[in-house]
Every structure is written in C-alpha cells, then in structure tokens.
C-alpha cells in the first residue's frame, strides 16, 4: 500500500508547498509511490489518516503546539519543510523585539485579540524525523528526501558549509565581489544556488552543527561590515539557533 502523505502549514508564506506543487513531471512519478491526502494548496479533500506529514512554517503561538502534537500523533514520520519549520526562519527576527510591540505593529488596536510567543522551529515543539531546509526549499532536495524516506534510509543532509558547493561550482567567492556572505557557516545542500546566480548566501538553511561563528564574524568585519551589521547578518535566519545557545 502506498504511504499516505499530508501537508500542513503554520506561520510561513507557504512558498515551500508551492515549490512542491510546482514539481511538474516529477510530481506524477512521485504519485506513483505515495497517496496525498492533505494538501490545501492543490486539493479540497482532508484526512487525518496519514503516514508522512510535511510541516511548513514555524510555531509562533502556544495554541499551535496542540495542533503540532496532534500531527505528530497521527504521523509515523514528520518532515519539517522550509526554513521557518526547520530553523525558525525569519519569523525568529521578532524574538529580538518586544513581543507586545510586535503585536501592536501587526494588529494595531486589535493586538489584544491575538496571542504570540517567540517564533520557533517545529522541533522545538515535537520530535522531527527529517528536514528539508531552505527558503524556499529546493525541489531536487525535496525529491531526494522523499526518495530516501521511501527507501527507508535517513536523508543525507550535509553537515558542511555552502563553501563546499561554491568551490565545486567554481563560483567567484561572493566576498571577492564585494558581497557579505554567510555561506561559510551555513549548512550546504542547496548546491550554492544563490551564489551561482551572482548574489550571496543569506543563511536560510541554518548553521552547520559546529560553526566557527567568531571566525565568520571576524571575516565579515575584516571585509568591512560593522559589528552590528555582522550580528544582524546572523540574526536574519539564525535567530532561533543563536538564542538557543
């Protein structure tokens, strides 16, 4: 029997599910292996009977924890997809601000009606079995993770920084082009896609397991960034990971 697959979203832009919906030919091949029972972006039907749950978005309210826990209970495998779900993502920027101010900025005089707490990745709430990093996720990596899960193997997510892929792709280093790049501490697996296109790495895949952050900050400062800006560079995506330390 084909494993049943469901997609869920929390605080996020749904851009990761859009990447899945945009898989085109591959999605047909994929549907030969799985049955999709929940996917708000492409279908109306819903079901609580599923084996693999893909969860997008970060958890930003206490109430959302119950829903996440229910998903965990229903699913055999929970996969976090996209930076918000895997590392807290840019939602975690608000963790560095006064949360009441944040509510007022977003909801104005209705602020009292809406709860909020520090944004966090879903593994801060429930155990997660696999990750598809990125903002948005890379379609090929999504397929690789799904293939691994279907073959019963642990998806191979690199624990080396983006520099490895940049070097293999023979990119001119972003620093040489006057950019401030966070790739030397960011987990690879994106095939250095942003640098390939001539920009820099923003850190959307989160930190490697054992990053040398001090050295990376020194490098940023050596190339002309202020200390404040270097810290901001780290916060854009690493906000939750930084706080946790």
Candidates 101-109, 124-132, 146-154, 232-240; binding stretch for another protein (CB under 8 A): 146-154
Residue from 18, 164, 225, 231 touching another protein (CB under 8 A): that is 164
Residue from 57, 88, 161, 189 touching another protein (CB under 8 A): that is 161
Residue from 18, 208, 221, 231 touching another protein (CB under 8 A): that is 208
CB nearer to another protein: give 117 or 223: 223
Candidates 66-74, 78-86, 118-126, 161-169; binding stretch for another protein (CB under 8 A): 161-169
CB nearer to another protein: give 15 or 158: 158
| Cis upstream peptide for 136 (omega within 30°) | yes
For 36-42, the CB contacts below 8 A with 24+ separation are 36/4, 36/5, 36/6, 36/7, 37/4, 37/5, 37/6, 38/5, 38/6, 38/7, 38/8, 39/5, 39/6, 39/7, 40/7, 40/9, 41/7, 41/14, 41/17
Residue from 97, 160, 226, 229 touching another protein (CB under 8 A): that is 160
Residue from 66, 98, 218, 229 touching another protein (CB under 8 A): that is 218
**Does residue 73 bind another protein (CB under 8 A)?**
no
**Does residue 22 bind another protein (CB under 8 A)?**
no
**Does residue 199 bind another protein (CB under 8 A)?**
no
Angle at which helix 227-244 crosses helix 213-222, to 10 degrees, equals 160
CB nearer to another protein: give 208 or 231: 208
CB nearer to another protein: give 70 or 169: 169
- Rounded to whole angstroms, the Cα distance separating 4 from 101 reads 42
**Does residue 163 bind another protein (CB under 8 A)?**
yes
- Rounded to whole angstroms, the Cα distance separating 160 from 153 reads 20
- Rounded to whole angstroms, the Cα distance separating 118 from 95 reads 5
What's the min distance (Å) between Cβ of 215 and another protein?
Answer: 4
What's the min distance (Å) between Cβ of 48 and another protein?
Answer: 27
Length reported for the chain: 245
**Does residue 170 bind another protein (CB under 8 A)?**
yes
Q: What is the binding site for another protein (CB under 8 A)?
A: 26, 29-30, 33, 143, 147, 150-154, 156, 159-161, 163-164, 167-173, 175-177, 183-185, 208-212, 214-216, 218-219
């Amino acid at each position: 029997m084909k494993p049943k697959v469901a997609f869920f979203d929390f605080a996020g832009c749904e851009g990761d599910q859009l990447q899945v919906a945009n898989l085109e030919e591959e999605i047909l091949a994929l549907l030969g292996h799985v049955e999709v029972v929940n996917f708000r972006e492409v279908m109306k039907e819903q079901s609580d009977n599923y084996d693999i749950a893909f969860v997008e978005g970060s958890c930003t309210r206490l109430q959302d924890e119950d829903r996440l826990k229910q998903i965990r209970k229903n699913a055999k495998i929970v996969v976090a997809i996209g930076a918000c779900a895997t590392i807290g993502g840019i939602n975690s920027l608000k963790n560095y601000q006064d949360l009441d101010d944040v509510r007022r900025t977003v909801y104005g005089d209705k602020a009292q009606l809406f709860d909020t707490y520090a944004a966090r990745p879903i593994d801060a709430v429930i155990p997660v079995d696999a990750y598809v990093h990125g903002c948005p996720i890379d379609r090929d990596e999504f397929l690789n993770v799904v293939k691994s899960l279907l073959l019963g193997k642990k998806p191979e997510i690199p624990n080396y920084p983006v520099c490895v892929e940049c070097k293999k792709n023979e990119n001119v280093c972003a620093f040489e082009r006057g950019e401030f790049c966070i790739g030397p501490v960011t987990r690879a697996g994106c095939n250095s896609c942003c640098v390939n296109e001539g920009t820099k790495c923003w850190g959307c895949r989160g930190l490697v397991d054992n990053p040398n952050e001090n050295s990376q900050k020194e490098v940023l400062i050596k190339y002309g960034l202020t200390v404040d800006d270097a810290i901001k560079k780290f916060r854009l995506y690493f906000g939750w990971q930084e706080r946790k330390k």
